[in-house]
Amino acid sequence: MHTFRHAILRAPAPHFAGGITTVAWTEPPSHARLLAQHQAYAQGLRAAGLSVEILPALDGFPDAYFVEDVAVVLPELAVVTRPGAEARRGETEHIVAALAAHRELVQLEAPATLDGGDVMVLGRRVFVGLSARTNAAGVAALQGVLERVGYTVCAIPVAAGLHFKSSVNLVGHDTLVATAAFAGRPEFHGLEVIEVSDAEAYAANILRVNDHVLVAAGFPELAGKLRARGFGLIVLNMSEVEKMDGGLSCLSLRF
């Protein structure tokens, strides 16, 4: 597994509840609760051994704290994406300076659309979800960039869930966590897949960071499966993030 040393986060703006979501709330999202959860998340990353840089909230961009979507960061370079939601495309210019301090940058251009939440890196293989946010041109553009530095890219259709990583995530060098809809995909042949039940589908968005696995609170079945395999868990309340269609991986860029 790759060793991560640094993470970039962005503080949630007070108007975050004006962001894009498909969730029908029973209780409106709370900025105060989100800030507390975001701070606990940052502390979880520190506990996993990362230095954490928190960028200021972006006025006019309520979804900008989902910072993973605006870039794909690899050891060799960082790709600044072109988000699939038009309202989010202005976020990318605000990540450039932070990333340029660490990596050479490549910028995706139209007609490509690609969200970082659709990109999962497994060694030299990169799985990319073809979703409502990432189109075929985005996959092709990313492939053109990454093949030059020795990666292969595999596209996988996403029929349900906002992003590919809403349903599939890396938990070990040859082990995935995945919902039932993705667990049997032929692209994952040779990998162990820990299947997440439909009742705990949200929990599939785990985040492996060095020797720790960050998991959302309230999903004991998956937590039990991971503990049984010897993973050390950091359990975090994600209630306000979930209301905005977000998850653990969305909240940071790790490298």
Instruction: Please list the active-site residues.
Output: 163, 250
Buried b (16+ CB within 10 A) or exposed e, 33-53: ebbebbeebbebbeebebebb
Calculate the dihedral angle through the C-alpha atoms of 39, 43, 48, 54, rounding to the nearest 10 degrees: 60
